[in-house]
Structure 1
Amino acid sequence: MTMPTPEERPGEAFTEAVAEAVQTSVMAFRLVMAIADAVRRQQQKRAGREDELADAEKASAEASEEVKKFLPEDISTALLEGADWPQLAQQLMALKRAGVDLEMMLPRVGEITVTVRDQVAANAERVAREGTGEWAKALRETLPAGPVREAILSSPAWPEMARTMATLNERGVDVRAILASAHEEGVGVDQAVAKVLSAGEVPTTSRDATLSYGPLTAGLDIPRNINLDDREWALTVQLAIDPSDNQRYVRMVREAMPGMEREADLLVAARQWPLVAARMAHMESQHQPVAEHLTRLSKDDSWQEVPPSRMGRRLVQAAVDALSKPVGTPAGSGPKVNTAAARSTSPSVGPTKAAGKGAAPAAPGVAAHREAGPAPKSGKTR
């Protein structure tokens, strides 16, 4: 069934569809700006130099010229007429003062909004709304670990961002594509603000990342500054694991170890549990049977003879072993890995490697496995 031409549609319905498409593109603009502003705030907060927002009236006048220059007329008009335009203008001017080149950023954001507008106009179906937890999963699966993802999930605006993503998804927009594009803008904001703040030129690899590197994190997207001292932050922000998902993983472990409640609690309480949970989340995204893998835990006696002080760590190793080997492999089988030796001989330089990426860019505030986005297109987006 082909889509009817504008002349074949009832005039009022077509007008409403166009208006909805434009308003949805405005929502996409707000989402990208919220992400960019979250990155700016986080970078400045770390340096103890978060700027105050400019006067709303002055910012509106200055930002309106930038928006009219680089965004299509229908979208820029809708933005300027919106009740929240003064706040958006303040965000834009704050980014500009922080070192972001709006003449490079806005054309790229304009392309995103045009894509959204056209997707909504062409889409005739609606899909079920997904909750905030689903969008945390989408972030984990779409964006690499690093400052942009952390800034999004730690931002006070995160619940509103998630609601925006759900609404865009309802209207037929490819939200993951927007997130991927917004990530590149976030990386650019992170670099620009870090340059102004004279932040360190190389991302710091934390002690937790260094000690965990090896079989425990093989194949996972783990941030180089992973901090296991703050379990909640590590789980929800750095690894993008929703609390409800973490509770479900805990239940799966307990169900896999019947009659071993104490040992299951030791595993969950272990310092490196967030990394085990991250592996379970990764396996679920690959449609692997996590629960079936975990059944090997109750049959593995490799941890049962160790002193109580070492049992938690050994249970973590046993859990990773159970999750990493094919279902049906006898518990405790296979060669033991010397993590220290593997770390010393591995050609890798960090706790995570993204497939298909080149050498890490030597730029401030950027994850080692990410590079800057493509060169911007000049001129007004059509």
Structure 2
Amino acid sequence: MATPTPDEREPFAEAAGEAVQTAVMATRLVLAIADAIRRQRQKSMEEEPPPSDQETSETADSIKKLLPSDISDALLTGADWPQMAQQLVALQRAGVNLDQILPGVGEIAVTVRDQVAANTERVAREGTGEWERMLRETLPAGPVREAILSSPTWPDIAAQMARLDERGVDVRQVLASAHDEGLGVDQAVGKVLAAAPTTSRDAMLSYGPLTTGLDIPKDLVLSDRDRALRQLAIVDANPKYVRMVREAMPGRERDADLMVTAKQWPLVAYRMADMERKGQPVTDHLARLMKDTSWEEGPGPQLGSRLVQAANDALRRPLDDPAAESRVQVNTAAARATSATVGPTKPQAAKNAAPAEPGVAPHRTAEPATRNRKTK
């Protein structure tokens, strides 16, 4: 792939920064919820004593160690870091082990970041980047804009905006009106979900590259390995898929074990089963794990999760695809190196491109929208 010119890199750098900031928003939300639960458990809403310098420093070290570097850098340089540090110290004082909770928070943040990044790539391929810029210029940052940009249907929305523009419609005015309506929808849906959630947390968090093209149950529970394997109907076949991964990584069996014991492993095994049913050469795809070992880069505690993502990418990418680098390495890590929003970071695990359709199973890839307009 040719090296992008500075003019070509800038949109990717901006998009990478947007993806990281969206992930940071998700991280802050999760930690705020954890703090609220702690307060309710302790039956106290009294003002917490400020953390000591040593406690703040140790908390910052935990953030750097347990979260991806691009996300941790954005958190530690954010204006609200002192408030977040106080929340984390309070959780520690209450007996919460950050080494246990932060890797899970990191998984959520990475999922959000990569959903935004995947859509950015598809938008770039389909030539609708101008509409993303218009959206950012027209709508304030918040739940409506983030929902649009991270939606798998965003490229189709952009194509619709292009068609409206061709017909002389003021797209900015439409977006401004839609934003106000979207806030009402966001609040209404939030109330319904709080009262009676219909999709499991694991199913919602798994939505994206890991489940594109797969039918997964809405009540999927990945935290219970045996139940997840039963829900996906791969109980008997799972030992075979574990063996296939170990054989594909000779000399790296310990790393392979980290993958197959990761929380999201059943989704990888399920994809292998789906490929077998379609007559696709699973072993040939898995061989890529030793040809591209970019999954080695990053915090040690997240190696299993990175391997899950790398295996998913290896399984999904066609065998005749000559690209040596994954989507994440090309479109986020490299872009961040030139971004003024966040500093450079190590490449994250390989992941595939566009996620599936929104929020409920079955997860299927949306058909690309046709584009019949002149380039402006």
User: Structure 2 length normalisation: TM-score?
Assistant: 0.37
Comparing both chains, which one has the higher relative contact order based on Cα–Cα distances under 8 Å and sequence gaps of 6 or more?
2
- Please tell me whether Structure 1 or Structure 2 has the larger radius of gyration of its CA atoms: 1
